[in-house]
Amino acid sequence: MQDTTSSADQPVDHPPLLAVDLDGTLIRSDMLLENWWNVVSRDIPAAARALRALPEGKAAFKKALADTAKVDVSKLPYNDEVLARIQSHRDAGGRVALVTASDRQVAQQIADHLGIFDEVHGSDGETNLKADRKAAFLIERFGRGEYDYIGDHEADLEVWKGARKAITVNAPDDLRTGAEAAAAEGADHLGRAELAGPNKSWLRAVRPHQWAKNVLIFLPVLMAHSHDPRDWVAAMLAFIVFSMIASSVYLLNDLLDLSADRAHPRKSKRPLPSGEMALLHGSLLAPALLLGGLLLALLLLPFDFFLVLLGYFILTTAYSLNLKRRLVIDICTLATLYTVRIIAGGAATGILISPWLLAFSGFLFLSLAAIKRQAELISDVAAGREGSAGRAYVTSDIPVVSGMALTAGYVSVLVLALYISTPSVSLIYERPKLLGAVCAILLYWISRVVMLTHRGKMHDDPVVFALKDSTSRICGVMILLIAAAASFG
């Protein structure tokens, strides 16, 4: 009898199944926290309902969040090195399974988007598929030593004990050593170990360059021409504390805006939306800075300053959760948040703030807030979008927003001009007429900034732009010199 078996019918030696973890491995993020912050940003009552599922277990909590969250999985920070490893495995004829402790419906959404997985397994609302439970599942389904596993966490050591080969992602040295000892055929290592822990991204995430706004705290001391060292010490302490609170707010805002920031050409590069900084680290650092700042304020500064600080946090949190999506109210809120810094400086030092100063700063900061929105809309036009994600404006609003910026800026100069003509100025300045030159410089600067914004040359934050722009710095130095000359004659 003739043998009809051809070479094509011979069994092919395919590589073992490749099981891939999700959080911190396939993506440089954590889907539990992604879902949590997504739900908090959109629906706080839904987040509270999800918390009520916690007594039933972590799997139930994950499912409650997954049922409500609307994370855009196409914008998640995927790990290109892991994707390349998966594709290489598939090219060699191997099968790939996504096996994660995240809720299964979230894992399925990601698998559907990528289209590279043969199987998808995740937590189901009752069982949290992690550590020993994940290990038992993989052994039962594929057999001990019949799968390779890509992971990044200490909990994956249990999984690697049943694997043929361990593959680590951005693992520290001790985890790499443990993985090599756990798996039957040792381990491969992807990524850099230093990415697993705190790094310079933490400093970028708290945005120290934004602390320049908090220099406004010194304005009451400067305007009062105070020479009392106690006022300057109090203002310096207030600056430090306010910077801590502001940084906690920046972190919170980034956590609430993950999806919107990932759709933005510049904000997508920030540490949290890009996955450069772990969401867990951001979620812990934000309350740590907040509580530390409030405690220092209570211990070292007047209670009035503490109240102003608390009011600032409440208002800026309301802005992050809701007000930033409200037409015009968002601009007014931003202007108020700037002005609160001046009020905080007065509360910290006990110096009474002039109504003229509050009026001038209110209109000037209303102008800067409108410029910020104008810059975002100009960026939307350049990117072919109708409007910014999470904002109430569309690109056709640009002329109105630009008009608001110019009008508010010019009114602030008018307030300054009227203030200069009051008799009280002569009591503070030797040559008050010189201050008229400040009005001219401000008129030029505001007009120029609005024009540059219209041309798409403005950073999304006008304060940061002013610090980097040489012309703006020259204007600032000239104003200081004029103020000094008017003061000392």
CA separation for the pair 153, 226 (Å, rounded): 56
For residue 11, the model assigns a pLDDT of 42
Extract the tokens encoding 157.
Answer: 């050591």
Q: What pLDDT was estimated at residue 292?
A: 95
3-state helix, strand, coil in the chain (%, to 5): 70, 5, 25
Q: Give the global pTM.
A: 0.82
Q: What is the pLDDT of residue 394?
A: 85
What pLDDT is attached to residue 392? Answer: 77
Tokens 């409650």 correspond to 64
What secondary structure, in 3-state letters, does 354-417 show? CHHHHHHHHHHHHHHHHHHHHHHHHHHHHHCCCCCCCCCCCHHHHHHHHHHHHHHHHHHHHHHH
Q: What is the pLDDT of residue 3?
A: 39
pLDDT in tens, the chain (489 residues): 333 333 344 444 668 899 999 999 999 999 999 999 999 988 889 999 999 999 999 999 999 999 999 999 999 999 999 999 999 999 999 999 999 999 999 999 999 999 999 999 999 999 999 999 999 999 999 999 999 999 999 999 999 999 999 999 999 989 999 999 999 999 999 987 655 455 678 888 888 888 888 999 998 998 888 888 999 999 999 999 999 999 999 999 999 989 888 887 778 888 999 988 999 999 999 999 999 999 999 999 999 999 999 999 999 989 888 888 888 999 999 999 999 999 999 999 999 888 888 999 999 999 999 999 998 888 888 877 777 666 778 888 889 999 999 999 999 999 999 988 888 777 777 888 888 899 999 999 999 999 999 998 886 678 888 888 899 999 999 998 998 888 775
Instruction: Order the strands of the 187-190 sheet from edge to edge.
Output: 119-123, 96-103, 17-20, 147-151, 165-169, 187-190
DSSP state of 167: E
Q: What's the confidence (pLDDT) of residue 1? A: 35
Measured CA to CA in angstroms, residue 233 lies from 19, 219, 480 at distances of 58, 14, 22
What distance in Å separates the CA atoms of residue 340 and residue 342, rounded to the nearest whole number?
5
Predicted pLDDT of residue 461: 78
Residue 399's pLDDT is what?
A: 92
Residue 17, classed as helix, strand or coil, is: strand
> Residue 390 and residue 189: Cα distance in Å, rounded?
39
Using an 8 Å Cβ cutoff, are 393 and 329 in contact?
no
CA distance linking residue 208 with residue 483, whole number of Å: 28
